[in-house]
Amino acid sequence: MVQRRIPLTVYRPARAGVQAFAVLAAFEAASRAVIISVFPVLLYRSLGNAQAVSEVYFGAGLVSLVVALFTPWLAGHVPRRFLYTGGIVVMIASNIAAALLGAPAAPFALLGNTVALVVMTVCFNAYVMDFIDRTSMGKNETARLLYSGLAWAGGPYLGVLLMDIWPQGPFWLAVVFCFALLAFFWYLRLGDGKVITRARSKPANPLAYLKRFAVQPLLVAGWAFSCLRSVGWQVYIVYLPIFAVENGLGEQLGGMMLSLSNALLFLAPLVLRFLVARSVRFAIQIGFGFSALFYFAAVGLAFLPYSAAAMATVATLFLSTVFLVVLDVAAGLPFLMSVKPSERTEMAAVYSTYRDVSAVVTPGAARLILVFAPLTAVFAATGAGLLACWFVAARLNPRLGKGHRPAA
C-alpha cells in the first residue's frame, strides 16, 4: 500500500501579512477595551482609595513581569500556537469569573487578563517578526493601530456605560471578543512561526539573554521609549478616572476621555507619513516633548482657584494623549528595526516586558507618591519621565528608519 504525504503547502498560513495581523490585533483590542476603564472604577468602588487601587495594579504588574521573563522558557516546551491559545483561554476564564462573582473577583480577573496579555504579546511580536519584513514594520504598526482604533475608541466608554446598566455586561462582551480572536487566530494557521526545525539544545535560561539585550544600546533605548510611553498611558487610564471621581466629575468621564483619546489612533496613517518625511528620531522627540509639556501643564491647572480647574486638568491630559499616539507608532520602531533574526523569540520576550515593567513601576511609584502628595503629583512625575526620554531620543541616529540597518 502506497502512502502519500500531505504537501507542506497545506499548512502554510492563510494570510500572514500586514492586514491579517492588524485584524488579529483588533480582536485583541476589542476584548481589552470594553473592560479597561471598568477595572479602575470597580476597584475604586470596592477599595475606596487610590492607594489601595495602586497596590492591586502593582501586584498584577509584578506577577506579569515574572511571567514575561519566563515565557521564552515556556515557549521552548509548548508550541507557540498553543501558548497563544492558552493566553486567550486564561483571558476568557478571568472575564467569566468577574462576570459571575462580581467585585470580589475583580483583582483576580485583572491579574488573569494581565498575565494572558503578556503571553499573547510575546507570541504576537514573534509572529510579526517572522512574517513581516523589517522595511514594513512601520506600515504594520500603523495598520495595527488603525484597525484597533474602532475598538479602543468605543470600547472604554461602552464598558463604563454598560457597567451601570448591566454590571456583568462588559465582561461577557469581552468573552465574546476573545472567542472571535481565538477563531481568527486558528483560521490564519500561523503555526509555530517560520522556524520549523526542532532545536538540538535545551531552551536557554530565561534570564541568560538579558545580557545580550543590555549590550545593544538601540534595543535598550527602544525598550525604554515603549516603557515610558506605556507609563504615560497607564497613568491616564487608571488615575484620570480616579481624579475625576475625587473631584466630582462622575464615574463615566474617565471612560469617555479614554475613548476620545483612543479615537486619535485613526491619525496613525498621518503619523506614518510624518515619519517618512522626517525621521523616527524627530517623531519620537516630538511625542515625548509635547506629552511631557501637557502633563506638567495639567498639574499647574489643577491648582487654579476656579471651579473648572479639574475639568481643565482633564482636558489638558487629553491633549497629552495626542502625542502619546505618535509614540504608539514610533516609540517601538528602534527596537523592532534592529532585532537580529536569530534572536527574535528571545528579544520579543524582552521587548514585551516594557508593558509589565511599566505596570509595576506606575502603581508602585504612585503608591509612594500618594503617601506624601496629592494625585496631581503622579501626573508631575509622569511628565518628568517623559521629558527624560526626550533627552535620550536626541541621541538616536537621525537616519533611523530610512532604509538602512540602524546603528546605535
The CATH number covering residue 115 comes to 1.20.1250.20
Cβ atoms 87, 116 nearer than 8 A: yes
* Residue in this structure with the C-alpha cell 518628568, named with its chain if needed: 384
* Residue in this structure with the C-alpha cell 502554510, named with its chain if needed: 12
3 in a structural domain: no
Cα–Cα dist 348/363, whole Å: 24
5 in a structural domain: no
Cβ atoms 321, 261 nearer than 8 A: yes
pLDDT at 315: 93
Task: Give the list of residues 6+ apart from residue 377 with CB closer than 8 angstroms, or none.
Answer: 299, 369, 370
Cα–Cα dist 122/191, whole Å: 15
Sign of the CA dihedral with 117 first, then 122, 128, and 131 last:
negative
383 in a structural domain: yes
pTM for the model stands at 0.79
Task: Give the list of residues 6+ apart from residue 215 with CB closer than 8 angstroms, or none.
Answer: none
> pLDDT in tens for each of the 408 residues of the chain?
444 444 444 445 446 677 888 889 999 999 999 998 888 888 888 887 888 889 999 998 888 888 877 877 787 788 888 999 999 999 999 999 999 988 888 889 999 999 999 889 888 888 887 887 766 776 777 778 778 888 888 888 898 888 888 888 999 999 999 999 999 999 888 877 654 334 444 444 546 677 777 778 888 888 899 999 999 999 999 999 889 888 888 888 888 888 888 888 777 777 777 766 777 888 899 999 999 999 999 999 988 877 688 899 999 999 999 999 888 888 877 877 777 766 766 776 677 778 778 888 999 999 999 989 899 999 999 999 999 999 998 888 776 655 444 333
pLDDT at 344: 65
Count of CB atoms situated within 10 Å of the CB of 152? 23
Measured in degrees and rounded to the nearest 5, phi and psi for residue 30 equal -65, -40
Cβ atoms 131, 80 nearer than 8 A: no
Cβ atoms 105, 97 nearer than 8 A: yes
286 in a structural domain: yes
Nearest to 99 by CA among 159, 185, 57, 150: 159
- Chain-centre distance for alpha carbon 392: 21
pLDDT at 402: 57
CB environment 28-52: b (16+ within 10 A), e (fewer): bbbbbbbbbbbbbbbbbeebeebee
Cα–Cα dist 327/291, whole Å: 9
- Chain-centre distance for alpha carbon 17: 21
Cβ atoms 308, 251 nearer than 8 A: no
Cα–Cα dist 374/383, whole Å: 15
9 in a structural domain: no
Could you write out the DSSP letters of every residue in 38-68? HHHHHHHHHH-SHHHHHHHHHHHHHHHHHHH
27 in a structural domain: yes
pLDDT at 185: 92
Question: Long-range contacts made by residues 67-70, C-beta under 8 angstroms, separation at least 24?
Answer: 67/115, 67/118, 67/119, 67/356, 68/118, 68/122, 68/349, 68/352, 68/353, 68/355, 68/356, 69/206, 69/207, 69/349, 69/353, 70/206
Cα–Cα dist 55/107, whole Å: 10
Give 204's Cβ-side CA count (13 Å radius): 14
Total domains, the chain? 1
85 in a structural domain: yes
* Residue in this structure with the C-alpha cell 506629552, named with its chain if needed: 291
281 in a structural domain: yes
pLDDT at 15: 60
Provide the residue range defining the domain that includes 45.
Answer: 15-194+205-393
Cβ atoms 177, 34 nearer than 8 A: yes
